[in-house]
């Protein structure tokens, strides 16, 4: 039996950016070959930021569509929406009774987020968010969780909870998950302000590269990227952030190392690099963009994939929850026995 991998994304954007795409989805797709994979769109998590209902619905489909377009294969892996499997919220409640106040209060992402909006603007869901995340993971006897560095502490909480459940309820109660921290091999910066991370919230539309953006406008953004004025193609993050960023993106998509690219572009002009890179990016993104649009434009087909995913996920999740409910001493209704 293959080890199980579980990961998830919140439906909080109308498109993934190139950076999330390369950092997360490319890794998820690879892991399907060696693991039994389950990938979720965690819509319950997204409620913590109070999205407009229509926006949440749209983004839930758009996020799933991008998983599929990237190459997550629903005939092998499970793709589902978190809210379709009620056991997530149910296990989160149980886990919250195993979580210390101090332990939850130490989560730095909550502290950062709540500091930004102030205590009055924050909600309890944001506080218990890592517990819901632990439920996502523990429901599926997950062995490996690929996540970015920013989720390391949340993963640590999931592990602590798993070990606590096993200590209190019996050693084989749940599987203790291992983090698989996806190294940012290609940390991608804003095209206009290349010292800042490329990010929907902080960038102008000209600074970002999105999967669902028209590839022609991606090409335009690359050609208009900010560079310095000394006209030497070299990798120097301190003094030549713009060119270095273009080289990073180029290398991530084309396979040539940054050093090789620098050698290949010796004596050439920035314009030359930009034109070539625009073509590389457009060739890379077009099939993914088109596949995602096809899924988005056939919501019935997409919803059928999600329904099938939810059914397969439920089978695993309900068995786990049943085991836990029984072990903590909840009387099981006779109709379930
Ligand atoms: N918190 C994660 C993020 O913001 C998303 C997430 C929710 C997740 N549940 C998960 C990731 C379970 C991995 C496993 O990126």
Confidence of residue 203 (pLDDT cuts 50, 70, 90): confident
Per-residue pLDDT tens over the stretch 277-330: 999 999 999 999 999 999 999 999 999 999 999 999 999 999 999 999 999 999
Per-residue pLDDT tens over the stretch 110-119: 988 888 888 7
**In Å, what is the CA distance from 143 to each residue of 24, 25, 38, 135, 285?**
17, 18, 11, 14, 31
Determine which residue's CA is closest to atom 5 belonging to ligand 1: 9
Per-residue pLDDT tens over the stretch 56-102: 999 999 999 999 999 999 999 999 999 999 999 999 999 999 999 99
H or E element, residue 246? helix 241-254
Residue of 13, 21, 40, 42 to test ligand 1 pocket, by largest number of atoms within 8 Å of CB: 42
Confidence of residue 184 (pLDDT cuts 50, 70, 90): low
Confidence of residue 263 (pLDDT cuts 50, 70, 90): very high
> Which atom of ligand 1 is least distant from the CA of 148?
15
Residue 188 has pLDDT above 80, yes or no: yes
Cβ of 7 closer than 6 Å to ligand 1, yes or no, is: yes
pLDDT score at 116: 86
Stretch 248-272: mean pLDDT = 95
* Ranges 106-110, 130-134, 168-172, 333-337: which has the least confidence: 333-337
Q: Whole-number mean pLDDT of the chain?
A: 95
Q: Which residues contact 148 (CB under 8 A, 6 or more apart)?
A: 23, 24, 181, 182, 184
pLDDT score at 103: 96
Nearest 5°: the CA angle 174, 175, 176 is: 115
Residue 194 has pLDDT above 80, yes or no: yes
66 CB-contact burial (10 Å; exposed 0-12 / middle 13-18 / buried 19+): buried
DSSP 180-237: EE---TT--B-SSSTTSB--TTTS-GGG--BTTS-HHHHHHHHHT----SS-----BT
Cα–Cα distance for residue pair 337/335, rounded to 1 Å: 6
Confidence of residue 200 (pLDDT cuts 50, 70, 90): confident
Percent of all residues in the chain with a pLDDT value above 90, rounded to a whole number: 87
Cβ of 302 closer than 6 Å to ligand 1, yes or no, is: no
Per-residue pLDDT tens over the stretch 130-164: 999 999 999 999 999 999 889 999 999 999 999 99
pLDDT score at 305: 98
Cβ of 147 closer than 6 Å to ligand 1, yes or no, is: yes
The verdict on whether 111 is a catalytic residue reads: no
The verdict on whether 196 is a catalytic residue reads: no
Cβ of 273 closer than 6 Å to ligand 1, yes or no, is: no
How much is the pTM? 0.94
Q: Which of 200, 206, 220, 223 is catalytic?
A: 200
pLDDT score at 337: 62
> Which atom of ligand 1 is least distant from the CA of 130?
1
pLDDT score at 115: 86
> What token pair was written down for 31?
């892991």
Cβ of 136 closer than 6 Å to ligand 1, yes or no, is: yes
Q: At what angle do helices 299-328 and 270-297 cross, to 10 degrees?
A: 80
Contact 137, 180 (CB under 8 A): no
Cβ of 151 closer than 6 Å to ligand 1, yes or no, is: yes
Percent of all residues in the chain with a pLDDT value above 70, rounded to a whole number: 99
Confidence of residue 185 (pLDDT cuts 50, 70, 90): low
Domains and CATH numbers, the chain: 4-185+299-336 (3.40.50.620), 205-294 (1.10.240.10)
């Amino acid at each position: 039996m293959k080890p199980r991998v579980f990961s998830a994304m919140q439906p909080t954007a109308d498109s993934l950016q190139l950076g999330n795409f390369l950092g997360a989805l490319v890794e998820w797709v690879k892991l399907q070959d060696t693991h039994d994979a389950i990938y979720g769109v965690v819509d319950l998590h997204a409620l913590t930021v109070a999205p407009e209902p229509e926006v949440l619905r749209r983004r839930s489909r758009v996020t799933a569509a991008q998983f599929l377009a990237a190459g997550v294969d629903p005939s092998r892996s499970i793709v589902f929406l978190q809210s379709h499997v009620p056991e997530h919220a149910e296990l989160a409640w149980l886990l919250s009774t195993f979580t210390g106040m101090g332990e939850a209060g130490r989560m730095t992402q909550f502290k950062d987020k709540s500091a930004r909006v102030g205590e009055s603007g924050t909600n309890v869901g944001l506080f218990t968010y890592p517990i819901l995340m632990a439920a996502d993971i523990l429901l599926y006897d997950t062995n490996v969780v690929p996540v970015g560095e920013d989720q390391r502490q949340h993963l640590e909480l999931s592990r602590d909870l798993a070990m606590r459940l096993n200590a209190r309820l019996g050693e084989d109660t749940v599987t203790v998950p291992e983090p698989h921290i996806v190294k940012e091999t290609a940390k991608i910066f804003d095209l206009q302000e290349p010292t800042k991370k490329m990010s929907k919230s902080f960038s102008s539309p000209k600074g970002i590269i999105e999967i669902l953006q028209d590839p022609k406008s991606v090409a335009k953004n690359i050609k208009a990227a900010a560079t310095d004025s000394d006209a030497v193609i070299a990798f120097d993050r301190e003094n030549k952030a713009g060119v270095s960023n273009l080289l990073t993106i180029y290398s991530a998509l084309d396979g040539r190392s940054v050093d090789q690219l620098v050698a290949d572009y010796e004596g050439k002009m920035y314009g030359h690099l930009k034109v070539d890179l625009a073509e590389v990016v457009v060739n890379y993104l077009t099939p993914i963009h088109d596949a995602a649009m096809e899924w988005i434009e056939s919501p019935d087909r997409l919803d059928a994939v999600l329904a099938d995913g939810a059914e397969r996920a439920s089978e695993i999740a309900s068995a786990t929850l049943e085991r836990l409910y029984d072990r903590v001493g909840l009387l099981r209704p006779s109709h379930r026995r």
